[in-house]
């Protein structure tokens, strides 16, 4: 199954999420290989300095994401468990070799920890890389079978994009003032992955980033890490909210919106 992923906030990038088998046999391709502590980068006719930039940025994001989420003391992704980048020569090469649709600018296989893209993809280092690594690291920690609201996972991934984080609260406060705000209980019922309603998608992501930012800033990275560990160990999402002194989504929604209303402009 392939699902179009609209990169938050706005329809800027087209990433294919691959939940079933990969649509390309990497063994059939002749790849060069470059390794870092947590990543392996496969490439063919790509300059070495670009490959070095991919590795360096990926390692920096790995460090910042694990620290942001309170996962720093869990040092996974070593040796044969490293994540993999496949960097194709250009858009045409990527589309031909992966059999992805023409609109696709990259593909991510979360379970296999694989990201496929090409050098000319706009915003790759500043936006796509931290967002998708956020997804992979988060899922690697809590486990693929854990049931969580879509907004929470997208909020965690989008929180890694500094530019998105800075503007999210403003969008949500405006939605509250305009009576367009979506309470968390309703947000949890939404699946915007195939939506073409730009305003709804932007508000969904803004709220997701804003509430994750609120949780981390108010309760700390360590408590956030414990919350994720509770989910990993089988506790239901709402039951784990006790870490944030909330008994359910309604309580979390109240604390978050009160925080936004009282936040200095």
pLDDT at 48 over 80: yes
Q: How high is the pLDDT of residue 15?
A: 60
pLDDT at 229 over 70: yes
Q: Higher-confidence residue: 138 or 25? A: 138
Structure tokens at 253: 């929604």
Domain ranges of the chain: 2-142, 150-262
Over residues 93-103, mean pLDDT: 85
SS (H, E, C) the chain: CEEEEECCCCCCCEEEEECCCCCCCHHHCCCEEEECCCEEEEECCCCHHHHHHHHHHHHHHHHHHHHHCCCCCCCCCCHHHCEEEEECCCHHHHHHHHCCCCCCCEEEECCCCEEEECCCCCCHHHHHHHHHHHHHHHHHHHCCCCCCCHHHHHHHHHHCCHHHHHHHHHHHHHHHHCCCCCCHHHHCCCCCCCCCCHHHHHHHHHHHHHHHHHHHHHHCHHHHHHHHHHHHCCCCHHHHHHHHCCCCHHHHHHHHHHHHHHCCC
Q: Quick one: 203 exposed, middle or buried, by C-beta within 10 A (0-12, 13-18, 19+)?
A: buried
β partners of residue 5: 15
Q: How do residues 145-158 score in pLDDT, each as one tens digit?
A: 889 999 999 999 99
Q: How high is the pLDDT of residue 208?
A: 97
Class of domain 2-142: alpha beta
Over residues 197-208, mean pLDDT: 93
Q: How high is the pLDDT of residue 122?
A: 72
Structure tokens at 265: 């402009």
Q: How high is the pLDDT of residue 16?
A: 58
On whether the CB atoms of residues 216 and 159 are closer than 8 A, the answer is yes
């Amino acid at each position: 199954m392939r699902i179009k992923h609209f990169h938050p906030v706005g329809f800027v990038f087209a990433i294919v999420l691959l939940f079933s088998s990969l649509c390309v046999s990497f063994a059939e391709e002749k790849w060069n290989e470059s390794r870092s502590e947590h990543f392996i980068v496969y490439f063919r006719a790509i300059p070495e300095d670009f490959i070095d930039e991919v590795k360096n940025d990926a390692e920096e994001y790995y460090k910042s994401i694990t620290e942001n989420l309170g996962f720093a003391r869990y040092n996974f992704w070593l040796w044969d468990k490293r994540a993999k980048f496949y960097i194709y020569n250009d858009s045409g090469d990527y589309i031909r070799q992966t059999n992805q649709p023409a609109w696709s600018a990259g593909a991510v296989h979360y379970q296999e920890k694989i990201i496929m893209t090409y050098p000319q993809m706009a915003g790759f280092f500043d936006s796509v890389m931290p967002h998708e690594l956020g997804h992979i690291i988060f899922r690697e920690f809590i486990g693929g079978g854990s049931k969580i609201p879509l907004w929470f996972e997208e909020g965690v991934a989008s929180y890694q994009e500094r530019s998105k984080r800075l503007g999210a609260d403003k969008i949500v406060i405006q939605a509250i003032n305009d009576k367009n705000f979506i309470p968390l209980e309703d947000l949890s019922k939404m699946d915007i992955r195939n939506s073409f309603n730009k305003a709804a998608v932007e508000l969904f992501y803004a709220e997701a980033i804003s509430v994750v930012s609120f949780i981390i800033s108010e309760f700390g990275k360590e408590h956030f890490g414990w919350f994720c560990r509770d989910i990993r160990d089988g506790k239901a999402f709402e039951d784990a909210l006790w870490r944030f002194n909330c008994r359910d989504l309604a309580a979390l929604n109240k604390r978050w919106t009160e925080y936004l209303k009282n936040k200095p402009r």
